[in-house]
Chains A and B, each alone.
Chain A
Amino acid sequence: MTVEAVISGSETAQSAINALQLGSLYALFALGVALIFGIMRLVNFAHGEFIMLGALVLVYVTDWPLAAKIVVTLLAVVAIALLSERIVFRPLRGVSPVTLLVASFALSIGLQSAALLIVGVRPQGATVSKSLNTFWQVGSVSISKLSIVTIVVTVILLVGLVAFLSRHRVGVMMRAAAVDFTMTRLVGVRANLVIGTAFGISGLLAGVASILIVAQNGTFTVEMGLVPVLFGFIASVVGGLGSLQGAVLGGYILGGASTALQIGLPLELKPFRDAFLFGAVLVFMVFRPGGLYIARSERTRV
Chain B
Amino acid sequence: MRQTAWTRFVERATPLVLTMALAAVAISVASLGPKSLDQIVTVAAINLVLVLGTYLFVGNSGVLSFGQMAFAAIGAYTAGLLHIPPEDKANFLPDLPSWLGDAHFSALPAILMGGVVAAAVAAILSVPLMRLSGLSAGLASLSLLFIGQVVARAWVDVTRGGKSLAPIPTSIGTTEALIWALITIAVVFVYQLTPFGLRLRSSREDDVAAQSIGVAVGRERGIAFVLSALFCGFGGALYGLFLGTVNPDLFFISITFLTVTMLVIGGITSVAGAVVGTIVVSVIAEILRRVQTGDFFGISFPSRLGTQTLVLAIVLFLIILLRPDGLTKGKEIPTPRFLRRRAAAGSEPTVPLPERVDPPAD
Direct contact between A and B judged by beta carbons closer than 8 A: yes
Taking A102-B320, A289-B133 as contacts, is the C-beta distance between A113 and B63 under 8 angstroms? no
Which residues between 306 and 353 of chain B lie within 8 Å of chain A, taking CB atoms?
306-310, 312-314, 316-317, 320-321, 324-325
Contact A102 B253 (CB under 8 A): no
Within the complex, the shortest CB–CB distance from B337 to chain A, in Å, comes to 31
A302 with B324: CB separation less than 8 A:
no
Given A92-B320, A99-B320, A301-B204, A279:B143 Cβ within 8 A? yes
Query: A278 at the A/B interface (Cβ < 8 Å)?
Result: yes
A107 contacts the other chain (Cβ, under 8 Å)?
yes
Asked whether any CB of chain A lies closer than 8 Å to the CB of B5, the reply is: no
A residues 32-60 in Cβ contact with B at 8 Å: 41, 43
- For B60, the closest partner residue in chain A by CB is A302
**Residue contact B151 to A272, C-beta cutoff 8 Å:** yes
* B260 on interface, CB distance cutoff 8 Å: yes
- Once the chains bind, are B64 and A302 in contact (CB under 8 Å)? yes
- Of A74-82, A126-134, A213-221, A233-241, the one contacting chain B is A233-241
Candidates B257, B264, B304; contact of A99 at CB < 8 Å: B264
Q: Nearest-CB distance from A191 to chain B (Å)?
A: 18
In the complex where A117-B306, A275-B154, A298-B134 touch, is A241 in contact with B147 (Cβ < 8 A)? no
Q: Which of A106, A117, A241, A278 touches B261 (beta carbons < 8 Å)? A: A106
Which residues from B are CB-within-8-Å of A41? 135
The reply to whether A95 and B307 contact each other, CB–CB distance below 8 Å, is no
Within 8 A of B (CB), among A67-97: 88, 91-92, 95-97
A interface size (C-beta, 8 A): 54
Enumerate A98-116 residues with CB–CB distance to B below 8 Å.
Answer: 98-99, 101-103, 105-110, 112-116
Q: Does B146 contact A (CB under 8 A)?
A: yes
Give complex CA distance A92, B322 in Å: 9
Partner of B146, one of A99, A102, A274: A274
Nearest residue, chain A, Cβ from B307: A117
Check A278 against B146 for contact (C-beta < 8 Å). yes
Which of A140-148, A194-202, A280-288 sits within the interface? A280-288
How many of B's residues come within 8 Å of A, CB to CB?
54
Chain A residues 162 to 213 lying within 8 A of chain B, measured CB to CB, are: none
Name the contact of A289 in the complex, choosing from B132, B144, B321 (C-beta under 8 A).
B132
B143 partner residues in chain A, CB cutoff 8 A: 234, 278-279, 281-282, 285
How far apart are the CA atoms of A92 and B318 in the complex, in Å? 10
A302 touches B204 (CB 8 A): yes
Contact B316 A106 (CB under 8 A): yes
Chain A binding surface SS class: helix
Q: Chain B, 194-209, contact with A by CB distance < 8 Å: what is the 0/1 string?
A: 0000000000100100
Q: How far is the CA of A95 from the CA of B135 in the complex (A)?
A: 15
Is the CB–CB distance between A97 and B305 below 8 Å?
no
Cβ–Cβ < 8 Å partners of B207 in chain A: 299
Which among A43, A92, A233, A237 has the highest number of chain B CB atoms within 10 Å?
A237
Does A264 lie at the interface of the complex (its beta carbon under 8 Å from any beta carbon of B)?
no
Bound complex: CA of A130 vs CA of B132, how far in Å?
A: 46
Residue on A with the closest CB to B356? A301
Does B268 have its Cβ within 8 Å of any Cβ on chain A?
A: yes
Cβ of A26 to closest chain B Cβ, rounded Å: 14
Contact of B139 among A91, A109, A234, A299 (CB under 8 A): A234
Tell me, yes or no, whether A291 is within 8 Å of chain B by CB: yes
Partner of B257, one of A91, A97, A105: A105
Task: Give the residues in chain B near A108, CB-CB below 8 Å.
Answer: 257
The 0/1 profile, CB within 8 Å of A marked 1, for residues 130-164 of chain B is: 01111111111011101100110111000000000
B146 touches A230 (CB 8 A): yes
Indicate if A226 sits at the interface (CB-CB under 8 A): yes
**A273 and B147 alpha carbons, distance in the complex (Å):** 10
Which residues on B sit within 8 Å (CB–CB) of A236? 139
Asked, given contacts A92-B324, A230-B142, whether A298 binds B147 with beta carbons under 8 Å apart, the answer is no
Q: A residues within 8 A CB of B136?
A: 237, 241, 285, 289-291, 298
* A13 within 8 Å of B (CB atoms): no
A43-B139, A114-B310, A241-B139 known, 18 other contacts, Cβ within 8 Å: A91-B321, A97-B135, A99-B320, A101-B64, A106-B314, A109-B309, A110-B317, A112-B309, A113-B308, A114-B306, A230-B142, A234-B146, A241-B135, A272-B155, A275-B154, A286-B131, A289-B131, A289-B137
19 contacts between A and B (CB under 8 A): A102-B260, A106-B320, A109-B309, A110-B310, A112-B306, A117-B305, A233-B139, A237-B136, A272-B150, A278-B150, A279-B143, A281-B140, A282-B128, A298-B134, A301-B62, A301-B356, A302-B58, A302-B59, A302-B204
Q: Give me the 5 closest cross-chain CB pairs, A-B, nearest first.
A: A116-B306, A110-B313, A271-B154, A113-B310, A278-B143
Give B residues with C-beta under 8 Å from A.
58-59, 62-64, 128-129, 131-140, 142-144, 146-147, 150-151, 153-155, 204, 207, 253, 257, 260-261, 264-265, 268-269, 304-310, 312-314, 316-317, 320-321, 324-325, 356
